[in-house]
Every structure is written in structure tokens, then in C-alpha cells.
Amino acid sequence: MVGSTGSHQIRTVTPTTFKPYPDTIPLSPINLIKGEANLKRIGLTLVKVCPVSKIKQGELLAFQVQGVDIVLTLLGGRIVAFQRWCTHEEGDLSMGMLEGGVIECPEHGAKFDLSLNGRNVLGPDEEEAGSVPDIRVFKTEVKDGNVYVEL
């Protein structure tokens, strides 16, 4: 709808359904309210995921946290959290193969290096590195025996 007030036009925009890419998280005031208020920093929130005792070396555990699908694993004594869905065709990375800090998508074999912040190091079907977007790796913290992920 377009209206007019003197020299200014007024346009009413009807909201549409928006499906974000799997590697993005919409930021909104709601995301800032949920979770542990005392852990909030710079517009992001540390959210409790699970007890640290659940995370085992090399195992992949899938969680949904505030509507975001993530995978947790333990690599060399460090807890790593990354997005669950591959950036190629949304293969489930929690079902992938993890070797030496590199996660391989079970669908078409794309590989992402978790030590390089999720960088694509081999494309699907053995295409060149960088042929698909990197995956998102989330900051983690351990506090009071629990794993927190920054969203």
C-alpha cells in the first residue's frame, strides 16, 4: 500500500516468510533474553547445552539450542561446537566422519576443518576447496561442569 503525505511517500510492507540459511542465526531481542542473563556479552548469549561429562573424544552429539542445530565433540581435550547441517545440500554433519579435526559430510563428502574455524577444505564429490561456504563454528565455554555455546 502506498500513501502520500505531502512530499513523502508512505509504503506499507507486508512481512513474508523468511527461511535463513542453515549457517546463520537471526539476531533478535528474544535471543538476548533467553539463556543465562549473567553470561550475556556483546549481543550474543552463552547458552547451557549439556553436562561436560556427556562429551567424549571423537563422538558427535547433536543438539538443538534456541532453535539452532549444533554438533558438539571433544577434540584433543577441547570442546568444539559447529553447525549441524552441511552448507552444500544440508547433509547431517552429526552423522559424518570426524578425522583429525576434519568433519566429512555423509551426503557428498564435503570436508570442513574445525581447527580452521569450519573452513571448507574439500568440496562435495571431491571438488576443490572453497567450492561451498564454510560451516559455522561456535565459541564454547565450560562453567560449573556444563558446556555453554555462544549464540
Which helix (H) or strand (E) segment is 30 a member of?
helix 29-33
The alpha-carbon radius of gyration of the chain (Å, integer) is 19
Nearest 5°: the CA angle 35, 39, 43 is 80
- All domains of the chain in start order, with CATH: 25-150 (2.102.10.10)
Distance CA 78, CA 80 (A): 6
Phi and psi torsions of 64, nearest 5°: -115, 125
Can you tell me the distance from the alpha carbon of 26 to that of 102, in angstroms, rounded to the nearest whole number?
Answer: 27
Query: How buried is 114 (Cβ within 10 angstroms: 0-12 exposed, 13-18 middle, 19+ buried)?
Result: buried
Q: Give the C-alpha separation, 128 to 94, whole Å.
A: 23
Each residue's pLDDT expressed in tens, for the chain with a length of 151 residues: 444 445 444 444 444 443 444 444 443 333 333 334 344 445 678 999 999 999 999 899 999 999 999 999 999 999 999 999 999 999 999 999 999 999 999 999 999 999 999 999 999 999 999 999 999 999 999 999 999 999 9
Q: What is the pTM of this model?
A: 0.71
What residues does 72 pair with on adjacent strands? 61, 81
What 3-state DSSP class applies to 5? strand
